[in-house]
Structure 1
């Protein structure tokens, strides 16, 4: 028997389009000799439809799509979709073959942590599903079910000889290894080989990296799909086990993040119908990396970079920006902001009289740049990409309605130290980022001789504290006990807390850690807990 794992990129809510993709994949699978095609979790609707799941006519559209798939002959189809039965909604998988519905499975374990909110929408299932094809009994489970013992054990008890797992498992760093390890545990516990099919593509802040695979009874990966690409992965079952098949190379830890960011940008722009993107270049490392990602995601013809120098912008910042856009071949403009800044200051002079110069004047420069980018966006229809990183979003080292103005924050979940690693990885492929951009001390260039470390701990320290507090939920005391200076820890935590209101107004951006500032970060703005 031959299985086909349909790793593909659905669009949330495009039920008709997703159905066409599944039908095309089914025909390709039949042409390749497959007997069974398995789609990812909620393949008909995309993951996650969120509150679309509360609309009755959404389920009518899903039902019509299932009727269309039911007309397919010659292959068994295991398709993921939501279903409403009475007053209950389920995350389901239905098995279809030659006009017959062989059974429907309802996801048993509903994740309600990190970015998941399934208890808001679904009722947990209670029964296993095992169907037979060519004398082989195949059990079906969905995503979270494979991360615990019971659903797989129940399928085994119901007679399953192999497990099929439908997934919408979003990317974060080291996620592929975690999936492999978890599936191996289920293999060891049940003695069953397991085929794991995953979504691919970007959906708002989530990136699904694919990387579908099959593991044999010995816990060995015998078939592996690539990451961040559509793939019809064929897996043969013979002699009671999966046999060796295609083995795509998997990316290293830095490359996997770069791929995820490119995928997130490509699909956010493409699925939402924007004609391209705009971004402000500063001559610094964050905007340079954002530009490289945008070009790799969309092509140079869809990217417009704008340099907006002030009197504090170093000549080398302008020179390096010109150098980089020449290397990449993108549209480029320069708009000097100082005349506009002077006009603002003249208008504000009566109100500022007698008051010392402070960050107000710095933020005004940033906000002028934001206004210019948004004006260009309005005229062209292109979306503004913001360039701030996670370290800055943690500490509030960003200007509301200034450099935070835009529609998609490419580096929102990328720590500053990782920004440098990503730049180095990208340059190792082809040197698109001028070396001086990477080696210069980072600076906002909003006042004379300014560098980031004037007001922040060194980035390696800041990022380590941030990772422990934000991503690992450790307390201030626990982080200090690891050897970090108490003053640095308290400063980072204090800045994190007082800038919650800024983060709430930031654009979405791709999630690449287990805890980003998005769906999985829900802290009150008004908050006195210490």
Structure 2
């Protein structure tokens, strides 16, 4: 039996477009003599649909589109499609109105439905808000092969691998006890750095434990703040990877199940990215590209300061949408160093993007004149520094509004964490491209980008980071060195360590206390930030749910 993995990039809510993608890939799979086609979790409506699932007309339209899809698929091909289905027991206590389901479409009909059993409610997931869990893991037979169907989280509950169970049931174990020949998993698993290695280790552990081959089909593409990396895989009974789809792009992989060997045969194995930096680059480029396309933008704008953050964002944007669709705006002030302007100009030349220069000194003088009656007699301070950032933010938004550019904000995760950013200034934008990339990783990404040819000017990498909002300013006037800051933030934000644990790890107590205080105080800023492309396990996005008014 030949099984095709359709690694698709759906657009949330585009039922017609997503259905057409499935029809097209089904024709391709049929031309390659496939018997069964697998598509990702919620492939018909896109994942995650979030509160679209509260709209009765959307649920009805999804049902209608599923039926339409079934009648138009090639009758020779069986297809598993991710969809939502109504829960007939929704009126009962504790039941939700929907199931997260897989529909088996055969010969023009919806032959069978399979419901997701384990509903994640951690990090970016909130499936218990919408769905009831299925009560039983179901199977179907294709070409006399008994296949167990699971959906994403259903495979993430092996207590031997994780050291504990997060749910009462283990669908993999239940299907093994029902003597299935093969398990398929239809997934929409968001990307984070090095997550694929964890996925594959987990699958290999379960396969060798239960002696059952697995085919894992993952969604690909960017949907709002989430990025899906694809990397669909097949694992044979020996725990060997026998197929891997491409990362960060749509793909179609054909796998053969040998009934006599009761196993999957080896086929093409695409390599994983050769470094974390290569992974992050591909993820961020995909996230920007899809955000623009799915929000109907074609061009981007960003401020270019000559610093490393805006340089990296400009490089990502140029790769994502083409340099001809990127406008970098240089906005020098009296405090901008000549070197920074030179670095920005060199970057523009290296990337081949468009640029323009808007000096902000006249606007600064106008603000000074307007505010002089109130500011007179006070010292130059943060208010005056932030005015420069807000002037730049207003200019960028004006250009965005006038010419239809999407404004990209350029702040990194370290700044976002401690509030070293200006509301209505450098935080302006429709997408925060690197706000989940710590400053030390920004440097690492830029060095990786320069591995063959200088793209980011070397002086940008060498000079001390600075906002250049007052004479001779550097970031380290206000913050610890970034290697120290990022390690503290990794422990505080990512690992949830207590202050004393971080101190015990060798960090200065006063520094730890200061960073912790800054993180707490900056929550109101993060709440107003543009969507943050998520590339770590703990991003400042929908999975970050901290109170603003609190004392710790």
Q: TM-score, normalized by length of structure 2?
A: 0.95
More displaced 10-residue stretch of structure 1: 36-45 or 64-73: 64-73
Coordinate RMSD, CA, aligned: 1.0
Q: List aligned pairs for 1:80-99, cutoff 5 A.
A: 80-86=82-88, 87=90, 88-99=97-108
Q: Which residues of structure 2 form unaligned runs of 5+? A: 91-96, 159-169
More displaced 10-residue stretch of structure 1: 184-193 or 378-387: 184-193
Determine the C-alpha separation between the residues in 1 that align with 2:410 and 2:109: 52
1:344 aligned residue:
367
SS of aligned partner of 1:323: helix
- How many residues align structurally? 529
SS of aligned partner of 1:169: coil
Determine the C-alpha separation between the residues in 2 that align with 1:396 and 1:176: 32
Determine the C-alpha separation between the residues in 2 that align with 1:481 and 1:521: 26
Q: For the structure 1 residues 384 and 478, does the alpha-carbon distance in structure 2 shift closer, same or farther, using more than 3 Å as the test? A: same
Cα deviation, 1:94-120, whole Å, max 9, x if unaligned, reads 111112433211100000001000000
2:416 aligned residue:
393
Kindly indicate whether residue 362 of structure 2 is the aligned counterpart of residue 374 of structure 1.
no
Cα deviation, 1:40-80, whole Å, max 9, x if unaligned, reads 00000000110111111112111122212222211110111
Kindly indicate whether residue 167 of structure 2 is the aligned counterpart of residue 147 of structure 1.
no
1:199 is matched with which residue: 202, 219, 222? 219
2:127 aligned residue:
118
1:383 aligned residue:
406
Determine the C-alpha separation between the residues in 1 that align with 2:8 and 2:447: 30
Kindly indicate whether residue 200 of structure 2 is the aligned counterpart of residue 180 of structure 1.
yes
Determine the C-alpha separation between the residues in 1 that align with 2:351 and 2:263: 49
2:141 aligned residue:
132
2:185 is matched with which residue: 165, 171, 179? 165
SS of aligned partner of 1:201: strand
Kindly indicate whether residue 514 of structure 2 is the aligned counterpart of residue 506 of structure 1.
no
Determine the C-alpha separation between the residues in 2 that align with 1:429 and 1:493: 39
1:495 aligned residue:
518
Q: Is the 8 A contact 2:147 2:182 kept in 1?
A: yes
2:437 aligned residue:
414
1:242 is matched with which residue: 264, 277, 281? 264
2:328 is matched with which residue: 305, 322, 325? 305
Determine the C-alpha separation between the residues in 2 that align with 1:431 and 1:202: 28
Q: List aligned pairs for 1:169-318, cutoff 5 A.
A: 169-238=189-258, 239-251=261-273, 252-318=275-341
Determine the C-alpha separation between the residues in 2 that align with 1:16 and 1:155: 34
2:451 is matched with which residue: 428, 448, 458? 428
Q: Is the 8 A contact 1:188 1:219 kept in 2?
A: yes
Cα deviation, 1:279-334, whole Å, max 9, x if unaligned, reads 00000000000000000000011110000000110111111111111122111000
Instruction: Give 1:485 shift.
Output: 1.1
Instruction: Give 1:379 shift.
Output: 0.5
Instruction: Give 1:413 shift.
Output: 0.4
Q: Is the 8 A contact 1:371 1:402 kept in 2?
A: yes
Determine the C-alpha separation between the residues in 2 that align with 1:419 and 1:225: 28
1:358 aligned residue:
381
Determine the C-alpha separation between the residues in 1 that align with 2:179 and 2:141: 10
Determine the C-alpha separation between the residues in 1 that align with 2:68 and 2:177: 33
Determine the C-alpha separation between the residues in 1 that align with 2:110 and 2:434: 45
Determine the C-alpha separation between the residues in 2 that align with 1:51 and 1:197: 25
Instruction: Give 1:125 shift.
Output: 0.4
2:66 aligned residue:
66
Determine the C-alpha separation between the residues in 2 that align with 1:356 and 1:231: 60
SS of aligned partner of 2:280: helix
SS of aligned partner of 1:457: coil
Q: Is the 8 A contact 1:165 1:196 kept in 2?
A: yes
Cα deviation, 1:429-471, whole Å, max 9, x if unaligned, reads 5422111111111000000000111110110010011011101
Determine the C-alpha separation between the residues in 1 that align with 2:44 and 2:461: 44
SS of aligned partner of 2:83: strand
Determine the C-alpha separation between the residues in 1 that align with 2:453 and 2:66: 46
2:491 is matched with which residue: 457, 461, 468? 468
Task: Could you list the structure 1 runs, at least 4 aligned residues long, displaced by more than 4 angstroms after superposition.
Answer: none
Determine the C-alpha separation between the residues in 1 that align with 2:291 and 2:213: 36
Determine the C-alpha separation between the residues in 2 that align with 1:385 and 1:500: 21
Determine the C-alpha separation between the residues in 1 that align with 2:108 and 2:419: 58
SS of aligned partner of 1:428: coil
Determine the C-alpha separation between the residues in 2 that align with 1:203 and 1:427: 29
1:79 aligned residue:
81
More displaced 10-residue stretch of structure 1: 312-321 or 84-93: 84-93
Determine the C-alpha separation between the residues in 1 that align with 2:443 and 2:504: 28
2:54 aligned residue:
54
